[in-house]
Amino acid sequence: MIPNILSNGQYNTVYNFLSLVIAAQLFTALFMLIGLPRILPRYRQAITVAIIVCGIAAYHYFRIFDSFKAAYVTKSVGGTGSYSQAVGAQFNEGYRYVDWLLTVPLLLVELIAVLALARSLQRRLLVRLVPAAALMIALGYPGEISGDNGLRGLFGLLSTIPFAYILFVLFVQLGRSLDKQPTAVRGTVSRLRFLLLLSWGVYPIAYLLPLLNIGGADAWVGKQIGYSVADIVAKAVYGLIIYGVARTKSFDDDPKFALAEGAETDEPFVLAH
Amino acid sequence: MIPNILSNGQYNTVYNFLSLVIAAQLFTALFMLIGLPRILPRYRQAITVAIIVCGIAAYHYFRIFDSFKAAYVTKSVGGTGSYSQAVGAQFNEGYRYVDWLLTVPLLLVELIAVLALARSLQRRLLVRLVPAAALMIALGYPGEISGDNGLRGLFGLLSTIPFAYILFVLFVQLGRSLDKQPTAVRGTVSRLRFLLLLSWGVYPIAYLLPLLNIGGADAWVGKQIGYSVADIVAKAVYGLIIYGVARTKSFDDDPKFALAEGAETDEPFVLAH
């Protein structure tokens, strides 16, 4: 549940984390937009999707930030006291789910697009991954808005089923196509899959925090920090790594391009920017 | 501590300095964005990072500006009186630290990227510089938000340790690689290092101003001016000098490019735009 009272420290912590996410998403998107001509055209689809994902996230975090600012007020001078819920405004957790419903399927599109697989294989993977990702988010929402811990646990469990299916497709079915990738990229893509698993793993932890009964406001603040950090890792950091992969593959594919970009062709260019 | 009362002059001074920083960062970023095609691709990574740094700073100064405007109100007509802290709002110093946590490591990435060193050397330098920079900022924050001068001094001292380490890496370890740089650039890079030292040196002075007991509001206003000037020099001016270095190196590397850009090839083109 959304807490009625936040201490000054709790309020500022949430406030600064929400702002940090806006900055991270916005300027990662800008970085990739400026860097788009610096990869070969065949990898620009993946980076375009990565830019859109960070852009959508920045937009929703502006909404979340404004919703949070409107939802709490303090009566004290200089904010030395505490904040309480404002009359006529409530913090809207729904923005996170609208964001995830759009961005989480796109994160999988990003991953598949950068591999530049055969079109039929790419299509076979995406018709499995995209609906599963949308279903995973949709099943989490009823638990999120419910004040009941039983319902929260139940819907958390239900949304784990499509999550497990996504992992099966990525680690088992996609695994078979990795042998055809250049050596320098194979390791990175493998690590990318683990980064996806790791960053997505933060969401269920944040989701389940209220079940631990740490105490209303602290658990809620912890959940907001958890979601914020997870969104930075899963979208911005993940996007930058995808960008690194696209650079590596561009240099591998076209040594003349690598030379113009100032890369040493004997060494793979991964993540060193 | 944040002062309860600001005179009309103090309020306007802070207001105008915050606005000056927004303008400086925003239009330095725009200048470099427009100028990106006017350097060789191998130096565009450095300038892209410089654009992102100024963009992130502009974003946070918009937030700081809004926070400052909301935190003080005046009861007098025509603003001839003084300003006092508003009910229900507090000036948020945290934005500066969120900004620095993102931008200060990137300033070092910018410096290393423009040198276009061997990739292994570049990586060796960055794994030392980036975590040290983040640690330096993180250690400053507890002292900043504490009202206690002893804690302020202690954390100021602690954050000097990673700062000293950064200087060691830049002046001793990086120094060894400078011999391989073109003559025209060697001097500029050396000066660049001193500019970094000089501009970063303003931060601890501003940080320690409250320890001098000049008087609450004056010390606080002085700190805001100091941070603002330091942010302009360390990000915008520094970025423009990096851009000048990238231009020089582009002309040195490719005389045809220099000719097309209208440079006199027998004279080094440094900082003259």
B5 and chain A: CB distance < 8 Å anywhere? no
The confidence score (pLDDT) of residue B15 equals 94
Cβ <8 Å between A26 and B89: no
Number of domains in chain B: 1
Report whether pLDDT(B57) > 90. yes
Task: State how far the Cα of B221 lies from the Cα of B212, in Å rounded to an integer.
Answer: 13
Q: How far apart are CA B76 and CA A93, in angstroms?
A: 40
pLDDT tens, A58-80? 999 999 999 998 898 887 766 56
- The residue of A11, A18, A22, A27 whose CB has the most chain B CBs within 10 angstroms, and thus the best one to mutate to test that interface, is A27
Residue B143 has pLDDT above 90, yes or no: no
From B107's Cα to the closest Cα of chain A, the distance in A is 12
Residues in B closer than 8 angstroms to A26, CB to CB, are: 55, 59
We report the CATH number of the domain holding residue A247 as: 1.20.1070.10
pLDDT of residue A267: 41
C-alpha angle B70-B76-B78 in degrees, rounded to nearest 5: 90
Across the range B203-221, mean pLDDT stands at 79
Q: Does A172 touch chain B (CB under 8 A)?
A: no
DSSP codes, chain B: ---SEEEHHHHHHHHHHHHHHHHHHHHHHHHHHHHGGGS-GGGHHHHHHHHHHHHHHHHHHHHHHHHHHHHEEE-SGGG-SEEEEPBT----THHHHHHHHHHHHHHHHHHHHHHT--HHHHHHHHHHHHHHHHHHHHHHHHHHH-S-HHHHHHHHHHHHHHHHHHHHIIIIIGGGGGGGS-HHHHHHHHHHHHHHHHHHHHHHHHHHGGGG-S-HHHHHHHHHHHHHHHHIIIIIIHHHHHHHHHHHHHHHH-HHHHHHTT--TTS---S--
- Partners of A23 on chain B (C-beta within 8 Å) are 56, 59-60, 98-99, 102
Percent of chain B with pLDDT over 90: 48
**Are A30 and B55 an interchain contact pair (Cβ–Cβ within 8 Å)?**
yes
Q: Return the structure tokens found at A122.
A: 């790419």
Q: Which residue range forms the structural domain that includes residue A151?
A: 5-261
A38 reaches B (C-beta below 8 A): yes
Cross-chain residue pair A76–B59, CB shorter than 8 Å: no
Contact B56 A23 (CB under 8 A): yes
Q: List chain A residues with CB under 8 Å of B59.
A: 22-23, 26-27
User: Do A147 and A1 meet the contact criterion of CB atoms below 8 Å apart?
Assistant: yes
Q: Average pLDDT, stretch B137-162? A: 87
Question: Does residue B62 or residue B216 have the better pLDDT?
Answer: B62
Residue B266 lies in a domain: no
pLDDT for the residue numbered A239: 95
Distance from CA of B252 to the nearest CA of A (A): 14
Q: How far is CA B121 from CA A272, B116, B127, B174, B175, in A?
A: 11, 10, 10, 9, 12
Instruction: Give B82's strand partners.
Output: B7
Please say if the pLDDT value at position B127 is more than 90. Answer: yes
User: Does residue B131 lie within any of the structural domains?
Assistant: yes
The answer to whether position B92 is within a domain reads yes
Cross-chain Cβ contact B113/A273 below 8 Å: yes
Least confident among B47-51, B192-196, B256-260? B192-196
The reply to whether residue B33 touches residue A34, judged by beta carbons under 8 angstroms, is yes
Q: In this predicted structure, what is the pLDDT of residue A25?
A: 97
pTM for the full predicted model: 0.87
- Whether residue B52 has pLDDT greater than 90: yes
pLDDT above 90 for B266: no
pLDDT higher than 70, residue B268: no
Neighbours of B78 (CB within 10 A): 7
**What is the helix, strand, coil percentage profile of chain A, to 5?**
80, 5, 15
**B45-to-B41, B196, B198, B240 alpha-carbon distances in Å:** 8, 19, 25, 14
A237 within domain boundaries: yes
Measured distance CA(B184)–CA(B191) in Å, rounded: 12
Task: Answer whether B41 sits within 8 Å of A264, measured CB to CB.
Answer: no
Whether residue B26 lies inside any domain: the answer is yes
Choose among B2, B56, B116: nearest Cβ to A262. B116
Question: What is the model's pLDDT at position B265?
Answer: 52
Is A89 a domain residue?
A: yes
Domain-located, residue A272: no
- Mean pLDDT of all residues in chain B? 86
**Chain A CA closest to residue B41:** A261
- Domain-embedded: residue B268: no
Are the beta carbons of B59 and A26 separated by less than 8 Å?
yes
- List chain B residues with CB under 8 Å of A269: 119
pLDDT at B49 over 90: yes
Closest to B98 (Cβ–Cβ): which among A16, A75, A264? A16
Ramachandran region of residue B5, left (φ > 0), alpha (ψ -120 to 50) or beta?
beta
* A70/B contact by beta carbon, under 8 A: no
pLDDT tens string B213-250:
666 788 889 889 999 999 999 999 999 999 998 998 89
Residues of chain A with pLDDT under 70: 77-80, 184-185, 213-215, 263-273
